[in-house]
Amino acid sequence: MKIDDDKRSGRKHRAILQAATATFVNKGYDGTSMEDIATKAGVSKQTVYKHFADKKQLFAEIVLATTSHVDQVVDLVAKSLNDTQNLNEDLAALARRFVTELMDVELLQIRRLVLANADRMPELGRKWYANGFERVLAGLATHFQKLAERDLLHFEDPLLAANHFVGMLLWIPVNEAMFTGNIPPRSKASLDHLANAAVRAFLAAYGGPSRPSAKARR
């Protein structure tokens, strides 16, 4: 019976998280009550409180879950770079996958909620930045560094190179989505085009055969 209880409790936990995500996205943080979330999840308000101390903690769990998901995806795909035989192709595949993940409608909506509430929940904004942004960049930098050791990439600072890769890839679509609500969302073809262009520019800047470091500094 204990195992059944755990299973049921896990299912409820996930149902509450899903219901809360949908409600926060639709009504904003202020417009959402624990009551709304319980109704949407089909559980009692007490059950919600049994799983989450308060609205703020529930919101934080949703936000931080998205950052760890993105992190996993990047790590998984970036690992494929380690023994690449065709950097151009594999980096382009990574870029296309990365931009598709990042442009997920729900993820963008949660990102906007974090930004909108960063004033009153500065801890959460900082955690999202550290666990999302900085960790993804650090992960990419580690993989780029391995490519540099194979003489496939050339830079002085792997983190700066990772920053340039992500900045070229995401500056336009993410900001467009933040300010205009991503309506209608960009097509897969349009995102692929941005990804391929970013990889071309990145490899023109940091790829190619070995060359004197003076060139990179010019």
- Which among 34-42, 46-54, 122-130, 140-148 is the span making contact with a copy of itself, rule CB under 8 A? 122-130
Binding status of residue 138 toward a copy of itself by CB under 8 A: no
The residue within the footprint of a copy of itself, chosen from 15, 93, 163, 186 (CB under 8 A), is 163
Q: What is 28-90 written as a DSSP string?
A: TTTT--HHHHHHHHTS-HHHHHHH-SSHHHHHHHHHHHHHHHHHHHHHHHHHTTTT-S-HHHH
- Which among 9-17, 51-59, 144-152, 176-184 is the span making contact with a copy of itself, rule CB under 8 A? 176-184
Binding status of residue 10 toward a copy of itself by CB under 8 A: no
- How far is 18 from 51, CA to CA, in rounded Å? 13
Q: Which is nearer to a copy of itself, 180 or 187 (CB)?
A: 180
Binding status of residue 190 toward a copy of itself by CB under 8 A: no
Q: Which residue has the tokens 């650090």?
A: 138
Q: Contacts with a copy of itself: how many residues (CB under 8 A)?
A: 46
Q: Which is nearer to a copy of itself, 2 or 217 (CB)?
A: 217
Q: Which residue has the tokens 């909620």?
A: 113
Site residues (CB under 8 A) for a copy of itself, limited to 12-51: 28
- Which among 3-11, 44-52, 138-146, 178-186 is the span making contact with a copy of itself, rule CB under 8 A? 178-186
- Which among 32-40, 52-60, 71-79, 173-181 is the span making contact with a copy of itself, rule CB under 8 A? 173-181
CB hemisphere CA count around 51 (13 angstroms): 25
Contacts of residue 24, defined as CB under 8 A and 6 or more positions apart, other chains included, come to 32, 59, 62, 110, 113
The pair of structure tokens assigned to 174 is 């993410």
- How far is 203 from 200, CA to CA, in rounded Å? 5
User: Is 158:81 a contact under the CB 8 Å cutoff?
Assistant: no
Q: Which is nearer to a copy of itself, 76 or 172 (CB)?
A: 172
Binding status of residue 4 toward a copy of itself by CB under 8 A: no
